[in-house]
Amino acid sequence: MLTVVLAPFFAALAAPWLVRRLDRRASFVLALVPVAIFAWTLSRLDAFAAGLTDVTPWVPGLDVALAFRLDGLSGLFVLLISGIGTLVVLYAGGYLAGHPMLGRFFVFLMLFMGAMLGLVLADDLIALFVFWELTSLASYLLVGFQSEKPAARRAALQALLITGTGGLALLAGLILAAIAGGSWRLSDLVLAGEAIRGHGLYLPAMGLIVLGSFTKSAQWPFHSWLPGAMQAPTPVSAYLHSATMVKAGVYLLARLDPAFGGTAAWTTTLLVIGGITMLAGLVLALLETDLKLVLAWTTVSALGALVFLIGPATEDSARAAMAFLLTHALYKGALFMAAGNVDHEAGTRDLRDLSGLVRAMPITFAATAVSSASMAGFPLSLGWVSKAITKAAAIEAGGFVPVAVVTFATLLLVAIAGVVAIEPFLGRKSEAAKEAHEAPPSMLVGPLALASLSLLFGLFPDLVSDAVLAPAASAVAGVPLAVEAKVIKPFDWTLGLTLVAFAAGAALYVLWQRRAELWRDRLEPVLSRGPDAGYDHALVGLARLAAWQTRLWQPGLLHRYTAATFAVIVVATLAALFRGDLRLAFPLDGLRLIEIAVMALTAAAAIVAAIATTRLLAVTALGMVGIGVALIFMLFGAPDLAITQFMVETLVVVLLALVLVRLPGFRLSATADRPRALHAAIAGATGLLVIVLLLGVLAEPFDSRLSEWFARTSVPEAFGHNIVNVILVDFRAIDTLGEIIVVFAAALAGLAAIAARATRRGAR
């Protein structure tokens, strides 16, 4: 199975070379890959019910494996991905013939195909997530394929940001699910439903996974990226944004239904959001004038319907969801390709400019008519079958509301089918229609094949019901199910409802013809404030937030950085101190007057240095602090330190004096220390922190072993009586060498800076 998933990736690598050699005929070669996968899957049809597993170690240390599993649900998806994929590759060869970037296009398309196959076959949660993100990435590249158009770039980014954000939620959700279910394998989680639903992490895991699925499958209010994604070339719309990728969210929900389904939270969320998406999508579809956007909105609606059907997690709803999944993929793929034909040959997709194309494009019309009939659910089409199953589920769910929703959706779909199939093709020939002619064969194979299947499966549902739909529905429901093809009871009371819906839909279509413009204008202000505008606002807001916090943290002002650094040091250290048991010592015994005097003098000098307003006073005070420190060293048995400190302090004062006379006056401007109160607080806190730290150190027992060792070995081993000197030049001689190098380097660098300054002056 690894080969199956990897094959499209290798094909992607070869695609540019093939296109260079064969030009558009490369599509025939590339189509062999999905054809082979399709054939392979069909040959494994018997294994669907039991499931077929294939594990390749990937990151064994983290227990992540490329585990793949082919069962009813993934099998149905693989058939759709490879089957429709074949037709789309062929179609793209015709649609983008002569496009300079055809090679690149096929790279992206095959990349997507591989990612999508990996997604539906993955049994490992991490592998699933990786492929999930890969499909988002491929979608980004494909939507933005016509990168010269700003609208395409915006749409691509929007799709990436929305699905990418959802992907992050999904990752968190999958991790929580793995913790709750105790395994990283989907096949284990599906069996651990009881444990997961009873686990404390159930709600967060479910919420995050549902969120990820909703963004991917364009559920309200995350749907706005899908109509935007219609900026992609039509083969992409047909493939990613109707038949396959957008169904990834649906796939995941269906897959996890046995694990997560059955609770009130799950059912309510899916029913409400799915229902809103389904009905809103249909209404918005009617309001569009762009043929492709009409189809995009019906796709949104169909995705809502699928979520809606998965929600109840009953056996009937599982059957209905899978039947509708197949039905929708077949008719929507065909409709998109047919719409692409119209766009390609008539030069426009605007329904207001299209009319009377049937003479010029009879084959495209036939495919559109059959597929639209399936969409509306007319008899003899697959749509009729899946609608019957759906209605059975709605009745089972027991209630007026589900049946009413389904009937209302049928009504709207009938009207939309009229918009899609009748409006462009029948009637008086429009200007655009006069120029049009039928599309080339490569662009007719796809729509014709899919439309024929809609018809074939509609006439003979047995062809798919037992072999494909039953195992798929079983995987969704978690128990073996049969899908009876003969569910259609001709004189059921719902038939009356269906007929009423058909009639009302037809009436709506006729009425709509006259009233559409009026309603479009009337609803324009409402629609322009939808989630799509919200996305723009969110993006602007995010940029503002980023700019604001960058200004806050990186103002380019040194004193703010310093203040933040000291504040963090104080807060973090205090937090750490008070978490342990802090003991303080206050050693105060036998002070001598001279010690007190020296320390008081030093303290006074330091305070003067802090508030000095002239250069001379500041330097003098600093010098006094240094001398005070030297005296302290002297008083407490460190004559070497005292001598060094005296020398260094003298040099510092000389240096300071040398430099300061070349710098401007030191008189404090009023603003130099602002904000004074805050700075004083930070300074005081830092001082207090040091006091607390040192008192804590003094409270600890003193370990004198090292010092005593130096005292003991100084004379016998190093022949020196001044222990400090021996440590410096013998025991720690390398340290001292390093110190010398540092001072030397500082001197060199200082000299270089001064020399450079002199050179500049000379050059002037």
Partner 1 sequence: MELPLVLLIGLLTAVATWLMLSRNLIRLLLGFAVLGNAVNLAIFVSGRLTRDAPPLVPLDAETITGAFANPLPQALVLTAIVIGFGLLAFALVLAWVAYERLGTVRTDEMRVAEPPEEKA
Nearer to partner 1, 500 or 698 (CB): 698
Give the Cα-Cα-Cα angle 749, 752, 756 (nearest 5 degrees): 145
* φ/ψ (deg, to 5) at 484: -80, 130
Class of residue 195 by CB neighbours under 10 A (exposed 0-12, middle 13-18, buried 19+): middle
* Distant-in-sequence, close-in-space partners of 425: CB < 8 Å, separation ≥ 6: 356, 357, 358, 361, 365, 368, 369
Nearer to partner 1, 400 or 586 (CB): 586
| Least CB distance to partner 1 at residue 157 (A) | 22
| Least CB distance to partner 1 at residue 754 (A) | 6
Nearer to partner 1, 529 or 662 (CB): 662
Question: What's the DSSP call for residue 46?
Answer: G
Look at residues 326, 368, 367 and name the one whose alpha carbon lies nearest to residue 83.
326
Amino acid, res. 671: T
Question: Angle 558-579/676-699 helices, nearest 10 degrees?
Answer: 30
Look at residues 287, 226, 286, 228 and name the one whose alpha carbon lies nearest to residue 523.
287
Q: The tokens of 275 are what?
A: 């229902």
Spatial separation of the C-alpha atoms in residues 136 and 213, rounded to whole Å: 12
Q: Within 10 A of 751 (CB to CB), how many other CB atoms are there?
A: 10
| Least CB distance to partner 1 at residue 649 (A) | 9
* φ/ψ (deg, to 5) at 731: -65, -40
Nearer to partner 1, 32 or 655 (CB): 655
Spatial separation of the C-alpha atoms in residues 579 and 441, rounded to whole Å: 77
| Least CB distance to partner 1 at residue 708 (A) | 9
Nearer to partner 1, 514 or 667 (CB): 667
- Is-cis flag, bond preceding 221, omega within 30? yes
Spatial separation of the C-alpha atoms in residues 59 and 702, rounded to whole Å: 50
| Least CB distance to partner 1 at residue 555 (A) | 8
| Least CB distance to partner 1 at residue 616 (A) | 12
| Least CB distance to partner 1 at residue 161 (A) | 24
| Least CB distance to partner 1 at residue 638 (A) | 5
| Least CB distance to partner 1 at residue 625 (A) | 6
Spatial separation of the C-alpha atoms in residues 338 and 364, rounded to whole Å: 6
Nearer to partner 1, 510 or 610 (CB): 610
How crowded is the C-beta side of 136, counted as CA atoms within 13 Å? 27
Nearer to partner 1, 479 or 697 (CB): 697
Look at residues 382, 379, 378 and name the one whose alpha carbon lies nearest to residue 414.
378
Nearer to partner 1, 380 or 567 (CB): 567
Q: The tokens of 231 are what?
A: 């900026």
Nearer to partner 1, 151 or 643 (CB): 643
Nearer to partner 1, 533 or 654 (CB): 654
CB–CB of 25/93 below 8 Å?
A: yes
Spatial separation of the C-alpha atoms in residues 434 and 428, rounded to whole Å: 10
Class of residue 82 by CB neighbours under 10 A (exposed 0-12, middle 13-18, buried 19+): buried
| Least CB distance to partner 1 at residue 630 (A) | 10
| Least CB distance to partner 1 at residue 537 (A) | 18
Nearer to partner 1, 539 or 638 (CB): 638
| Least CB distance to partner 1 at residue 571 (A) | 14
| Least CB distance to partner 1 at residue 442 (A) | 52
Nearer to partner 1, 400 or 719 (CB): 719
DSSP state string for 54-110: EEEEEEGGGTEEEEEEE-HHHHHHHHHHHHHHHHHHHHHHHHTTT-TTHHHHHHHHH
Q: The tokens of 494 are what?
A: 């719902």
Q: Within 10 A of 507 (CB to CB), how many other CB atoms are there?
A: 13
Nearer to partner 1, 14 or 612 (CB): 612
Amino acid, res. 304: G
